[in-house]
Amino acid sequence: MSNPIVIRGVLLMALAIAGTAQSGDYPDPAKLPLKADLPDPLVMFNGKKVITKEQWLKSRRPELKKLFEHYMYGHAPKAPKVIAKIERIDKNALGGKATLKEITLSFGRGDGVKIHVLLVIPNKRKGPAPVFVGMNFCGNQSVLADPKIRLNPNWMYGNRKGVKGNRVTDASRGTDVDVWNVEDIIDRGYAIATFYSGDIDPDRPDQRGIQKNFGTEYDWATIRAWAWGYSRVIDYLVTDADIDASKIIAVGHSRLGKTTLLAAAFDERIAIAIPHQAGCGGTGPNRAAFGNKGAESVKRINTSFPHWFNANFKKFNDDVERLPFDQHCLIALCAPRPVLLSNAVEDKWANPDGQFNMVVAADPVYKLLGSKGVASKKMPAVGRLMNSPLGYWIRDGKHSMNREDWRVFLDFADKHLKRK
């Protein structure tokens, strides 16, 4: 469709901190002190209190990022050169409501790794569009029932509709239409950019994705690799004239919700983060005392998904109280940008009560930075959106993402992007 676009000048962003914290910089997990209470996000690793915005921005925030890298998510490489090739443009998508673009991102390394991006932009708009960005579970062809969207060529979860032999078929087209609700997003004036998580990492303990193409000094696990991929897609989006680079909203469900929060914490180009039902390792507390009884634990997630986090995090399986942070600190890294945690009543595994506790525990950082933070320390009623910069939403139902959720996501974005 067009010549490749080499993206420069947008690469040295928040995710550029890579590999700086080596094993000798911090104690072995077994040597960390026990702390039953939630660690104070406004206290440095050495015990010094953080009382000014400058201390947070110059000292504590960079320190927390390094602590999360070292003890949980791993270190990622700096952003490489990103080459974007627009494969197809359809200016009459969704019955003329939208322009659809299929874009392939590669990294000039000759390793064959590519991220396939589906970008759908409203035609009825004034100026560049705000954009939701999120990874999908089954390839871009599952998001819309458009026969022209390319079938994803990579390994696929075998339990997804239209997948045979871990490869998608035409039967997978449009199978996640009700998950993504693209037409509703377009009708509200937003663009949507989505890409398959397996383009970056196949989510298998016996295989590595993009990590194998970089040096062994990087201990990035799957969730960190996915978050790194988020930022590479944003590298493209900020160059697209149809997109408002100041209004990028990251959204993700379940394991991809964990990734959404991590991406927002490390990439400040993300204006709003909406990690949906993200649970343990994302928006739920690692310390079990601060959440729902029976919610997923650190030990369980590391046993079931050993590839999601780095080797150090597994050392906390039976010793979570030695962690020098909890997940409220990851939320705090997004401050003062808005973050919405969303949940479902029957999804106890994702720890909805514990997630609300994380929102409340992040509030002091938001207040320090001049944000209104959380509107109340009382969990909102089912079906009622707490639409403060630190937001919370819980609905009836189970672990899923649906049209009702998107209505809330859009309402949250409207308020905090001041669109209405």
Q: What is the CA radius of gyration of the chain?
A: 20
Q: 244 and 130 in contact (C-beta within 8 Å)?
A: yes
User: Catalytic residue among 59, 371, 399, 400, which?
Assistant: 399
Residue 47 neighbours by CB distance under 10 Å = 7
Counting every residue, how long is the chain?
420
Please tell me what DSSP assigns to residue 414.
Answer: H
Query: Under a CB-based contact definition with an 8 Å cutoff, are residues 42 and 108 in contact?
Result: no
Measured distance CA(392)–CA(386) in Å, rounded: 5
Per DSSP, what are the bridge partners of residue 374? Answer: 390
User: Residue 145's CB: how many other CB atoms inside 10 A?
Assistant: 12
For residues 307 and 212, give the distance between their C-alpha atoms in angstroms, rounded to a whole number.
13
Catalytic residue among 106, 142, 231, 254: 254
Which contiguous run of DSSP H or E holds residue 114? strand 114-122
Among this protein's residues, is 254 annotated catalytic? yes
CA distance 210 to 194: 18
255-266 and 222-237 helices, crossing angle to 10°: 60
399 is catalytic: yes
DSSP 377: S
What are the catalytic residues? 254, 399
